[in-house]
Amino acid sequence: MPSNQSPTTAADGDVLERRFGPRRDPQGASHGDAEEGRLLLIAGPCLLEQDDLNARIAETLLEACRTHGLDLVFKGSFDKANRSSIRSARGPGLEEGLARLARIRERFDVPVTTDIHAPEQAAPAAAVVDLLQIPAFLCRQTDLLAAAGETRAAVNVKKGQFMAPEEMRQAVGKVRESGGTRIMLTERGTFFGYHRLVNDFAGVGDLIEMGRAEGIPICFDVTHSTQLPGAVGTASGGRPERAPLLARAAVAAGVGAIFLECHPEPKTAPSDASTMLPLAEVAPLLRTLAAIRAAVASTSVLDGGATTALRSSGS
């Protein structure tokens, strides 16, 4: 597959091509109107696990999304380059990690996403995944954003914990000026002193308004927003019991997508064990989120952008 094209399968067409918009060409001309519709869930383990566990998580998430009327993008990282300690688990690596994501994509016919940390990872990742994720710490890295944009894959840029919503226009511009036409922004908390993140829902509203003006969907990262960075020395702590509260608030505020990490036994996970939701708790949460989404669907607060997320950028 050419490195400047994202994959196209039934999964891509069914969930992504009709959801990521409004579609724009490199000059910014709009192609079609954003459609209000189903909530998008981006979810999976923090680090990719072995195939059987990845499949168990994907199958559970997909069943829950189908039951409650959500669309799913499966998430898993091949490498975590920003761990607290040099001794922390990093993941299976680029080649093996992308192979595991490809197997999930093929088996469940579901779009997949992963994060990249270096420009040279963009092209090989975009040849396999549907959505490239830019970590929050790296959201100002011009070379990384440009490399992601050059692939023409959809790009999800997480807002830096140190940045105001309006500052993310510059990140969007870097992706667009490099050829990227399908962009999402994700809120994941803001630094508040040491070892603490807070969520500013006035700022979430600002981000949603900016997304409407720019024609891009807004996502809310539920589990990383509960993180306590570096709070336990060689690792970060967290308050995962607050994740459902934040998810409900974010959907009520009008975001079009929710990001969360989950695991059958979070305490045994090799990364982000202190923030991930138990897999068994995801389906009940999705039922609640779908009800909230339906309740606000007819109001002006709804971010319609994510409901046309990942629309094809081909001419």
Domain count, the chain: 1
More confident residue, 255 or 192: 255
* pLDDT exceeds cutoff 70 at 97: yes
Please report whether residue 38 resides in a domain.
yes
- Three-state secondary structure readout of 30-97: EECCCCCCCCEEEEECCECCCHHHHHHHHHHHHHHHHHHCCEEEEECECCCCCCCCCCCCCCCCHHHH
Mean pLDDT along residues 211-221: 94
Query: Domain range spanning residue 259?
Result: 10-308
Please report whether residue 315 resides in a domain.
no
Please report whether residue 164 resides in a domain.
yes
Please report whether residue 269 resides in a domain.
yes
Residue 22 pLDDT level (bands cut at 50, 70, 90): very low
**Tell me, what CATH number does 256's domain have?**
3.20.20.70
Residue 163 pLDDT level (bands cut at 50, 70, 90): very high
Please report whether residue 3 resides in a domain.
no
Please report whether residue 52 resides in a domain.
yes
92 Cβ neighbours under 8 A, 6+ residues apart: 47, 48, 78, 100
* pLDDT exceeds cutoff 80 at 283: yes
* pLDDT exceeds cutoff 90 at 52: yes
Mean pLDDT along residues 195-216: 92
Please report whether residue 253 resides in a domain.
yes
